[in-house]
Amino acid sequence: MNHLKPSLVILAAGMASRYGSAKQTESFGPAGETIMEYSIFDAIKAGFDQVVFIIREEFAEAFKAVMEPKLRGKVKTRYVYQSLDKFRNGRPVPEGRVKPYGTQHALLCCKDVLDAPFAVINADDFYGLDAFKKAYKFLSEAIQDGKYACLGYQLKNTLSEHGAVTRGEIRVDGEGFVEGITERKEIFKREDKAFRVSEEHEVEMDLLTPVSMNFFCFTPAFVEWSEGAYYNFLDEQDGNLKSEFLIPEVVDQLINTGKGTVSLVKTDARWFGVTFKEDAEIVRAELEQLTSKGDYPKSLWA
């Protein structure tokens, strides 16, 4: 039987090299919740009824032990394992390769379990209810094969107090379609303004600039189409042990080759996440505040 309501796909197989520990399963909420549990809670509220977790098989047992007791009876769950040997097309894995092949390779690993339109998010980011409601509406009403969406956050709602961040600046045409996503590195806050470092110079950025936080809406056709792009990527990049096949770059390819369109779906939700160890306390304080305001119950699943 087909599962036709939109699904939520959560990318939880990354290495967290900058952060230094498995932040996907770290406790942040008042009752020990992980960040992704807030996303799942909001997604269920918005109408999603299935979550697909992309994880690494060696962590599967520990991961399921944390998530299954909480989610049982509340949402359907499926698990997909991202591993270096998937979609090699006969090529050996390069010696010394440890790093996963990136977010679009993770999605590719879901190819056989996706049977409905879906949203995809990072496990370690807080996205806000407004974003899930808007994503669900797009997935229920507007999505078609080749007609996808990217959630756009206001830059000011995504900056860290603890260091420079990388954000995908979204360029939009006059009709609200994404023309491209440019990765901007070294964006930092100073005196309520945002700047990025470009070739040793500081460039001020508009605080309302739409940025991508890796929250997209697709159909399974996008994943199938990306398989060919992945083999091209391997032909060019497989010798580089740090190379990654990333969703925003594949979205750019889709747009630039005329294979599809991506609508900008704007949200004024606040995003926060844990890029740096120092962000963890801020995230805990934010969740504490949202809980005391009544936006979330003291224990999400009680």
Any domain includes 266: no
Q: Total structural domains in the chain?
A: 1
In a domain, 178, yes or no: no
Tens digit of pLDDT for each residue in 24-68? 678 899 999 999 999 999 999 999 999 999 998 988 888 898 899
Q: Which residue has the higher pLDDT, 93 or 253?
A: 253
Region 173-195: what's the mean pLDDT? 92
Domain-embedded: residue 203: no
The per-residue pLDDT for 198 is 84
Q: Is residue 102 part of a domain?
A: yes
**Residue 245 confidence (pLDDT):** 83
- The pLDDT tens digits for 186-245 are 999 988 899 998 887 899 999 999 999 999 999 999 999 998 888 888 778 777 778 888
Domain membership of residue 201 (yes or no) is no
Q: What is the pLDDT of residue 20?
A: 35
Three-state SS annotation for the chain: CCCCCCEEEEECCCCCCCCCCCHHHCCCCCCCCCHHHHHHHHHHHHCCCEEEEEECHHHHHHHHHHHHHHHCCCCEEEEEECCCCCCCCCCCCCCCCCCCCCHHHHHHCCCCCCCCCEEEEECCEECCHHHHHHHHHHHHHCCECCEEEEEEEEHHHCCCCCCCEEEEEEEECCCCEEEEEEEEEEEEEECCEEEEEECCEEEEECCCCEEEEEEEEECHHHHHHHHHHHHHHHHHHCCCCCCCCCHHHHHHHHHHCCCCEEEEEEECCCCEECCCCCHHHHHHHHHHHHHHCCCCCCCCCC
Q: Flag whether 134 is in a domain.
A: yes
Would you state the structure tokens that stand for residue 50, as one six-digit string?
Answer: 């299935």
CB 15 within 8 A of CB 148: no
Task: Please check whether residue 165 lies inside any domain of the structure.
Answer: no
Answer yes or no: is pLDDT of 23 > 80: no
User: In CATH, what number is assigned to the domain containing residue 16?
Assistant: 3.90.550.10
Residue-level pLDDT at 119: 98
- Judged against a pLDDT cut of 60, whether residue 2 lies above it is answered with no
Mean pLDDT of 262-282: 89
User: Who has greater pLDDT, 95 or 6?
Assistant: 6
Domain that holds residue 52: 7-144+213-258+272-292
Q: How many CB atoms lie within 10 A of CB 164?
A: 15
Distance separating alpha carbons of residues 15 and 287, to the nearest angstrom: 24
- pLDDT for residue 19: 32
| pLDDT for 17 beyond 80 | no
pLDDT of residue 161: 77
pLDDT at 27: 87
> pLDDT at position 76, please?
96
Residue-wise pLDDT for 116-171, tens only, equals: 999 999 998 999 999 999 999 999 999 999 999 999 999 999 988 778 888 999 99
Q: Tell me: the pLDDT tens digits for 62-114?
A: 889 889 999 999 999 999 999 877 888 878 777 877 787 689 889 999 999 99
Is 177 contained in some domain?
A: no
